[in-house]
């Protein structure tokens, strides 16, 4: 909860702590012990033990029979499916994203912000050979990625400042390394209509992103594409790929009635 204001008297701290435990899992980690939860959340071990016990009874965690460790339970999937299924933008954008992914021999994704990260809610790849990480639902850094920079560049000043302050506290190394580039992204968006990341996060990928005009179901979505650095120089990809992403964004906006 480091990036959330907990001073609100209506804020349910116990509930938030339980959710934070579920968010402790990182990609590739199959199980965690209570001590891992305690280290990652800052909660006491007795508090963690009560929370993991409760979450296991509810099906959000399952105890590993091989030892005192926990895995995510099937109930977690039940939370995400209704959200994804209710996003009317996904079936509209998906066919157009698939076409562009094939044209650029890369990946095209649709994402939105969660706290101080971005998350993909839909992704299309040119082929199974184009390995894209993270997958749908996994967190992406805000400042080092084109999709995060595009969200910040389009955000209202107060929202942008709030997120930047949260990143400064929760991820100081990320802030120090990429804050300047994120600031320049505002100029890039105003001038060119898109934001970019020159292999800033993944060394073998260039990224370009366009925030959609207007909110969709109250959320700010961003279209993002990733291309392998071996396909050409950053300048070449910027000339060839970014304009196609702009065209895709315009088509999605027309389909949604945002223009």
Helix H or strand E segment including 197: strand 195-197
Helix H or strand E segment including 150: helix 146-154
| pLDDT at residue 225, as a whole number | 95
Q: What gap in Å lies between CA 148 and CA 156, rounded to an integer?
A: 14
Q: What gap in Å lies between CA 204 and CA 140, rounded to an integer?
A: 16
**What SS3 class is residue 6?**
coil
Q: What gap in Å lies between CA 73 and CA 77, rounded to an integer?
A: 8
Q: Of 75, 34, 76, which is closest to residue 52 (Cα–Cα)?
A: 34
| pLDDT at residue 144, as a whole number | 95
| pLDDT at residue 67, as a whole number | 75
| pLDDT at residue 128, as a whole number | 64
pTM: 0.84
Token pair, residue 108, equals 């095209």
pLDDT digits (tens, 9 = 90+) for 29-44: 889 999 999 999 999 9
Q: Of 76, 35, 67, 70, which is closest to residue 53 (Cα–Cα)?
A: 70
| pLDDT at residue 6, as a whole number | 59
| pLDDT at residue 135, as a whole number | 77
> Low-confidence residues of the chain, pLDDT below 70?
1-6, 128-134
């Amino acid at each position: 909860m480091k990036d959330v204001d907990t001073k609100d008297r209506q804020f349910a701290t116990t509930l938030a702590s339980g959710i934070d435990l579920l968010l402790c899992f990182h990609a590739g980690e199959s199980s965690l012990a209570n001590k891992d939860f305690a280290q990652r959340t800052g909660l006491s071990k007795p508090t963690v033990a009560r929370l993991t016990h409760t979450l296991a009874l509810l099906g959000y965690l399952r105890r590993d029979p091989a030892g005192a460790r926990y895995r995510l339970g099937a109930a977690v999937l039940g939370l995400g499916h209704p959200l994804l299924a209710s996003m009317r933008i996904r079936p509209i954008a998906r066919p157009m994203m698939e076409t562009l992914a094939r044209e650029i021999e890369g990946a095209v994704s649709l994402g939105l912000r969660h706290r101080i990260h971005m998350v993909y809610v839909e992704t299309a790849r040119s082929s199974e050979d184009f390995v894209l990480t993270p997958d749908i639902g996994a967190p992406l850094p805000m400042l080092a990625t084109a999709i995060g920079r595009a969200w910040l560049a389009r955000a209202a000043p107060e929202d942008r400042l709030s997120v930047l302050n949260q990143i400064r506290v929760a991820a100081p190394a990320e802030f120090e390394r990429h804050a300047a580039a994120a600031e320049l992204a505002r100029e890039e968006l105003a001038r060119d209509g898109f934001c970019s990341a020159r292999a800033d996060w993944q060394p073998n990928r260039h990224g370009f992103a366009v925030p959609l005009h207007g909110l969709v179901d109250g959320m700010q979505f961003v279209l993002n594409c990733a291309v392998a650095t071996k396909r050409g120089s950053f300048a070449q990809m910027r000339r060839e790929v970014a304009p196609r992403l702009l065209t895709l964004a315009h088509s999605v906006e027309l389909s949604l009635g945002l223009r």
